[in-house]
């Protein structure tokens, strides 16, 4: 952990130092720049994660929907390796019709990433 702290403190000082090797910017200013950069980059990383999860969900749903009716039953979820869906099926199947649709799963995924 100490190495990580050293890098976090060293990197901004190297990025914002002048050519003489002097470090004219105060530590607080350096950390503020570093924090601002992290905040700017965070939404892009979050979006990629959501898109990756969405693609994975769609792929698993398609593979698990054996009869290709666009509905995933508890049995299909179990047999298709969608263990989280199977374990939480009664919660995911909010309207208690015995199946979940891709749209329902996408909505739940989107709610988790808000």
Q: Where are the domains of the chain?
A: 2-17+24-112
pLDDT, position 29:
72
Specify the CATH class of 2-17+24-112 in words. mainly alpha
Tell me: the pLDDT tens digits for 14-52?
655 555 555 555 666 776 666 666 666 665 555 568 889
How many whole angstroms separate alpha carbon 55 and alpha carbon 6?
37
Structure tokens at 64: 């698990």
Average pLDDT over residues 78-107: 93
How many whole angstroms separate alpha carbon 41 and alpha carbon 7?
18
**Residue 112 binned pLDDT confidence (cut-offs 50, 70, 90):** confident
What is 33-55 written as a DSSP string? HHHHHHHHHHHHHHHHHHHHHHH
Give the SS3 label for residue 75.
helix
Residue 9 has pLDDT above 60, yes or no: no
Average pLDDT over residues 95-107: 94
Tell me: the pLDDT tens digits for 43-92?
555 556 888 999 999 999 999 999 999 999 999 999 999 999 999 999 98
């Amino acid at each position: 952990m100490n190495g990580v702290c050293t890098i976090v403190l060293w990197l901004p000082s190297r990025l914002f130092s002048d050519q003489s090797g002097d470090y004219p910017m105060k530590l607080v200013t350096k950390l503020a720049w570093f924090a601002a950069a992290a905040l700017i980059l965070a939404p892009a990383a979050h979006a990629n994660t959501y898109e990756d999860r969405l693609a994975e969900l769609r792929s698993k749903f398609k593979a698990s929907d054996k009869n290709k009716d666009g509905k995933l039953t508890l049995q299909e979820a179990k047999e298709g390796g969608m263990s989280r869906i199977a374990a939480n099926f009664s919660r995911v199947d909010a309207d208690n019709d015995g199946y979940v649709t891709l749209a329902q799963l996408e909505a739940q995924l989107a709610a988790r990433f808000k």
